[in-house]
Chains A and B, each alone.
Chain A
């Protein structure tokens, strides 16, 4: 018997093959795989063969460059074959259930499987997890506002008053529900239900007013008030307030205990003498902290600053314990945990209204890539694995929002798999580094390591290179900064390539490391080689039934998904596709249809979406006769230029930037090349537009227009177009001509931004202070990456690492990651303008004269003065 989904998808695939529509065959075949993913007969070898053969046939056409002709009769035959197998597989006896852990667990499975957890203590499950989560400490939020400089108060004897207002509020709620089902020897069932709700909220407000100057000694006054809904917080201290809120909560849990019991009798099929206890926990917490500071001098407000930070956590977890008599025979659990931190400049309602935040959108996007929305079983594979990190760090708190978000989906069971503890401590670290409002690059750890000696843990001898890929834990192979590195893995300094790869799949590795690895691995391994190594590791790990190996396989798989998900167009070739598809066949052979389906979907989506962004069509006829740029408002022109830039900017793959810095290979960086070409085109176009008119007055009008457009671009944070125009107006042929006072002066002010002093300090500061969305000057990014590449050694110096020469310098990668990450973040923002075809037509496709031609024009307007010899 074939279910309806499968039947429909098979019929569809047949139709596609018959009509010879090669381009949609891969996705039609995917539909078949999708429909089979939940099939009960995925262990049938006959079915597996038929499916693999069909996919092999189809995957021949996956490759974009493939031109091979479709063998229609063969395709039909393979579909028939599959259908035949499907029809017969139900009647055949199923082979023994294998040890694979990817099977969707049946609710009644696992009874009497292990008694192993007796040794791991009485309650290693949910309660332990809760304790871990409750360890999260929300650091006191202390933003640093810019100092008032310029006038010093001693000079004019003014009275400086500083008022600092700090408000903090926290809310915690926890609902625990325990349900016990006991089956009595007579077959009846006893149910007990206990519900416990704990709610706590506290708030405090502190105002400090300090007065200085005017010959009076410094006076500081402080007002504190606050309230809390807990009744025993007599030792309440403001300073200690956020360090251990939850220990207090535990103390008071008893007060809020609200047990509720209900007993019922029902007949069930459960085994007599057995009982099952289900515990569910929903816990949420929200900590809001606001700080406002007002500086006044002689009653005049000099500066007013405000910022706030909201930390939220949400846990939903479930644990099922099975007892036989008094003995715990099985424990299973799962759940989700989400943490988010939002920074925002300005108190709510004072400065900025929180506009529709782009962040939310991206959360949804990311989850969709893992298919969880479409298929509730999909996250089955990713259990025990971090689904995604949302790290949104922006450089200046004063001006805009920052946000962290993290979501974990986890499972644990009596077989020992537990949640990834180190992730939590890392997150705390991440948050810490974020709360520290200095310019964020990467953890300080790798910025100041030069001063501290590197300690080297014992590195095992690496024999056959493959053996590292087969290790459960490679920490010993890595060069770490200190012995705590397992807890703070961001301190990885280097190691052999394979160990660095494996470490990215380890639960003890930090999310930050994983991100840095995924952003920079191309500097030491091709995606092709990486996938080969990761699939090798997966296969090796999946062979063993050990829970630890199974977990390693799972983690490896999720890294494979990430790698496939972020492949660049230029990387997708026959060989690479073959690695992934062969791995898919392997998964099918193992009966892991779900994993096979997930991976293949990602691959096909990636192949289909990989096309270089092209400039949109320009409708010249939209422009009215005689209409020119001068007929449009500078602000709207700037918006349209920005829209055009945005498309090209977002298309740039971070990998292209890395490759460019290494070899400047245009073929590998199509999107980057398109972006720089547009920059140059715009610049030469501006020169042309300004120099072409015969009348001086007309030229002057265009000059002034572009100065105005520049000003608008600056306001929009589009540094790319801003500099393209600046480079035109300040170029040799344009600058040497005489311009009006206004244009000359304003241009001079603008030109300061590209002052190269202090490694373009002025520009860097301006970029940091600009609230996103913004488009940076990519040239400087390339320059930075080039110097990071050239200036840092690829491998650690042999003399520093006991003569070894195979230890990759990961410090270099941390630096590359820091630069790439800042671009990645900016790429996520969107400008919300609508396209205006009339204005775009006025750009005349940026057609322009060459550099020499503009010089000729310029020298025709004003002949060059040759110095008399």
Chain B
């Protein structure tokens, strides 16, 4: 089976881990053990073929900045996340594409830019246009989404959307080929 490694990047506190949990399990449950082997694996279908996505989300370890190169080295696709409620987190990721390219030694890396926490519109600090502009500069897809954390039990439409969106983006990743010239 084809395997594809996706690395989730972004500052601490942007809700990366909630996105990952959403994507891998679909919802929040009462018992969730991240140390088990296939916690970060998700099978999806691409072109009618089963394909495994292995998500590397190092949420919680952002302080171990020196480890980032190792993680990036492992990845084939990247999801770069910021929080729309924090200008700082948006600022933090502005150089992320450059970092990825530097480490991978190629400009040909699939990236997905995500503005998280759009359910908190009243606290918005980063406008949608800013996200769009950055995505255009990076020539990569962009979405705003919300993955409510486990403390909010209600599953909203936005949450379902994020999983669907992620999935389709990951499908894009796996099909991604460097633009011929």
Chain A interfacial positions (CB closer than 8 Å to B): 441, 446-447, 449-450, 660-661, 663-664, 673, 676, 679-680, 683-684, 723-724, 726-728, 730-732, 735-736, 751, 754-759, 761, 764, 779-780, 782-794, 796-798, 800, 809, 811-812, 815, 819, 851, 855, 867
Q: When A683-B66, A732-B102, A790-B150 are in contact, do A756 and B29 touch as well, CB less than 8 Å? A: no
Contact across chains for B5 and A787 when beta carbons are under 8 A apart: no
In B144-174, which residues have CB < 8 Å from any A CB? 149-151, 153
Residues B65 and A756 in contact, CB atoms below 8 Å apart = no
Q: Chain A interface mostly helix, strand, loop or mixed?
A: helix
Residue of A786, A798, A855 touching B59 (CB-CB under 8 A) = A786
Instruction: Tell me the bound Cα distance from A786 to B149 in angstroms.
Output: 12
| CB-contacts of B47-105 with A (<8 A) | 54, 56-67, 69-74, 102-103, 105
A-B residue pairs, 6 tightest by C-beta: A786-B60, A791-B32, A683-B66, A787-B34, A779-B61, A782-B60
**Are the C-beta atoms of B31 and A811 separated by less than 8 Å?**
yes
B18, B57, B63 interface centre (most CB from chain A within 10 Å): B63
Among residues of A, the one whose C-beta sits closest to the C-beta of B103 is A732
How far, in angstroms, from A764 to B36 measured CA to CA in the complex? 10
Q: Which of B30, B41, B67, B149 contacts A727 (CB 8 A)?
A: B67
7 A-B contact pairs sorted by A residue (CB < 8 Å): A732-B105, A759-B39, A782-B60, A785-B60, A788-B32, A788-B33, A798-B153
A789 and B102 alpha carbons, distance in the complex (Å): 33
Contact in complex: A793, B151 (CB < 8 Å): yes
Chain A residues near B60: list those with CB within 8 A. 660-661, 664, 779, 782-787
* Chain B residues closer than 8 Å to A794, beta-carbon distance: 150-151
Which B residues are in CB contact (< 8 Å) with A755? 74
Q: Are A759 and B34 in contact (CB under 8 A)?
A: yes
- B40, B60, B64, B149 — most chain A CB neighbours (10 Å): B60
Nearest Cβ on chain B to A328's Cβ, whole angstroms: 52
User: How many residues of B are in contact with the other chain, CB < 8 A?
Assistant: 50
CA gap between A446 and B63 in the complex, in Å: 32
With A780-B61, A790-B17, A791-B21 already in contact, the answer to whether A728 and B31 are too (CB < 8 A) is no
Q: In the complex, what residue of chain A is closest to B15 when comparing beta carbons?
A: A790
Determine the residue in chain B with the shortest Cβ distance to A751.
Answer: B70
Which residue of the partner chain A has the closest CB to B28? A793
Tell yes or no: B25 within 8 A of A by CB: yes
| B66 A664 Cβ-Cβ under 8 A | no
- Contact residues in B for A449 (Cβ distance below 8 Å): 31
Task: Decide if B66 touches A792 in the complex (CB within 8 Å).
Answer: no
In the bound complex, how far is the Cα of B18 from the Cα of A449, in angstroms? 24
> Judging by beta carbons under 8 Å apart, are A679 and B150 in contact?
no
- Give the residue among A727, A764, A796 with the most B Cβ atoms within 10 A: A727
CB distance from A388 to the nearest CB of B (A): 28
Report whether A797 and B59 are in contact in the complex, using a CB–CB cutoff of 8 Å: no
Query: Quick check: B66 and A761 within 8 Å, CB to CB?
Result: no
A727 touches B61 (CB 8 A): no
On chain B, the residues within 8 Å of A727 by CB distance are 66-67, 69-70
Query: Which chain B residue lies CB-closest to A723?
Result: B67
Question: Can you name 14 extra interface pairs (CB under 8 A) apart from A732-B102, A791-B17, A815-B32?
Answer: A450-B31, A664-B13, A680-B65, A731-B103, A735-B73, A754-B67, A779-B64, A783-B60, A783-B61, A786-B17, A788-B33, A790-B17, A790-B18, A797-B153
Pick from B32, B61, B73, B74: contact of A792, CB below 8 A. Answer: B32
Known: A736-B105, A758-B38, A793-B151. A787 touches B21 (CB 8 A): yes
Given A790-B18, A793-B150, A867-B107, verify A759-B37 contact (CB < 8 Å): yes
Chain A residues contacting B107 (CB-CB under 8 Å) are: 867
Contact status B59-A783, CB under 8 Å: yes
Point out the residues of chain A lying under 8 angstroms from B149, CB to CB. Answer: 790
Q: Which chain B positions have C-beta within 8 A of A800? A: 30
| Cβ 8 A contact of B30, one of A679, A735, A764, A809 | A809
**How far is B151's CA from A787's CA once the two chains are assembled, in angstroms?**
13
Interface pair B39/A796, CB less than 8 Å apart: no
Nearest A residue (CB) for B35? A784
CB-based contact A673/B35 at 8 Å: no
- CB of B12 within 8 Å of the partner chain: yes
- A661 contact set on B, CB distance < 8 A: 60
Given known contacts A779-B67, A788-B33, A855 and B102 CB-to-CB distance under 8 angstroms: yes
Which residues on the B side are within 8 Å of A783 (C-beta)?
34, 57-61
Is A679's CB under 8 angstroms from B64's CB? yes
B54 CB to closest chain A CB, in angstroms? 6
What is the CA–CA distance of A660 and B69 in the complex, to the nearest angstrom?
22
Chain B residues in 8 Å Cβ range of A679: 64, 66
- Cross-chain contact B65 with A730 (CB below 8 angstroms): no
Cβ-neighbour of B150 out of A660, A791, A811, A851 (below 8 A)? A791
Interface centre among A732, A758, A779, A811 (most CB of B within 10 A): A732
Q: Which of B21, B62, B71 contacts A756 (CB 8 A)?
A: B71
Do A756 and B54 touch across chains, with their CB atoms under 8 A apart? yes
Contact B69 A731 (CB under 8 A): yes
What are the residues of chain A within 8 A of B63 when measuring CB–CB? Answer: 664, 673, 676, 680
Chain B CB count within 10 A is highest, among A449, A735, A759, A791, for A791
User: Which B-chain residue is minimally distant from A677 (CB atoms)?
Assistant: B63
Chain B residues with CB under 8 A of A683: 66-67
Q: A756-B71, A759-B37 known; A684 and B66 CB under 8 Å? A: yes
Query: Which residues from chain B contact A793 at a C-beta distance below 8 Å?
Result: 28-30, 150-151, 153
A764 touches B150 (CB 8 A): no
Q: How far apart are the CA atoms of A680 and B66 in the complex, in Å?
A: 5
> Which interface residue of A683, A726, A867 has the most chain B CB atoms within 10 A?
A683
Report how far A233 CA is from B85 CA in the complex, Å: 77
A731 & B66 in contact (Cβ 8 Å cutoff): yes
Measured in the bound complex, the distance between the Cα atoms of B60 and A604 in whole Å is 34
Give complex CA distance A419, B62 in Å: 49
Which of chain A's residues have a CB closer than 8 A to the CB of B37?
A: 758-759, 761
Tell me the bound Cα distance from A731 to B103 in angstroms: 8
- Docked Cα-Cα span, A683 to B103, in Å, equals 16
With beta carbons under 8 angstroms apart, the residue of A447, A664, A754, A792 that contacts B12 is: A664
Nearest to A814 among chain B residues (CB) is B31
Q: Which residues of A are found within 8 Å of B54, using beta-carbon distances? A: 756-757
Give the interface centre of A755, A757, A784, A797 by most chain B CB atoms within 10 Å.
A757
Nearest A-chain residue to B152, judged by Cβ: A793
Whether B59 and A730, one on each chain, are in contact in the complex, defined by CB atoms closer than 8 angstroms, is no
Give CA–CA (A726, B69) in the complex, Å.
11
Q: How far is the CB of A326 from chain B (nearest CB, A)?
A: 59
Q: Complex formed: what's the CA distance from A541 to B71 in Å?
A: 55
Mask of B100-129 contacts with A, CB within 8 angstroms, 1/0 = 001101110000000000000000000000
Nearest opposing residue in chain A for B72, CB measure:
A732
CA distance A809 to B30 in the complex (A): 7
Q: With a CB–CB cut-off of 8 A, which chain B residues contact A758?
A: 37-38, 41
Residue of B65, B69, B73, B151 contacting most chain A CB atoms (<10 Å): B69
Contacts of A761 in B (CB 8 A): 37
Q: Is the CB of B25 within 8 A of A732?
A: no
**In the complex the two chains form, is A791's CB within 8 Å of B73's CB?**
no
**Min CB–CB distance A516 → chain B (angstroms):** 15
In the complex, A446 Cα to B31 Cα: how many Å? 9
In the complex, residue of chain B having the shortest beta-carbon distance to the beta carbon of A446:
B31
The chain A residue sitting closest to B39, CB to CB, is A759
Question: Is B64 a contact partner of A680 (Cβ separation < 8 A)?
Answer: yes
Residues of A within 8 A of B29 (CB): 791-793
B103 cross-chain contacts in A, Cβ below 8 A: 731-732
The distance in angstroms between the C-alpha atoms of A790 and B5, with both chains bound, is 22
Asked if A756 contacts B105 (CB within 8 A), the reply is no
With A660-B60, A664-B12, A782-B61 known as contacts, the answer to whether A787 contacts B17 (CB < 8 A) is yes
Complex Cα gap A784–B34 (Å): 6
Bound-state Cα–Cα, A783 to B66, Å: 15
Cα distance A661–B150 when bound, in Å? 14
